Amino acid sequence: MKPEEAFGLVLRNLRNQKAFSQERLALEAGLARTYVSLLERGLRQPSLTTILNIATVLAIPPSEILELVVKRMGKEA
């Protein structure tokens, strides 16, 4: 599994756990909703700034997002 695909799955799961819509996450993170959709579908790779903003909005450490991405990549390898 590609890193961007793993990130997308992790992002969708975290967003759903917090009961955030794509629109709410995008608004609070300063992103376009379409960009959040592209991230979740693995069609775009986030910048470090984007990861930090998303982590802040979801109230989790950025390192936790990256750990989940690495674990997801390992499961599908």
The CATH number linked to 66 is 1.10.260.40
- Domain limits for position 64: 3-76
Round to whole Å and give the CA distance between 39 and 63. Answer: 18
Q: Record the pTM.
A: 0.90
Banded model confidence at residue 77, pLDDT cuts 50, 70, 90: very low
Banded model confidence at residue 52, pLDDT cuts 50, 70, 90: very high
Domain count of the fold of the chain: 1
Average pLDDT of the chain to the nearest whole number: 95
Kindly state the percentage of the chain with pLDDT values over 70: 97
Whole-number pLDDT of residue 5: 95
Closest CA to 8 of 35, 31, 28: 35
In sequence order, the 6+-apart residues with CB closer than 8 A to the CB of 9 are 40, 42, 72
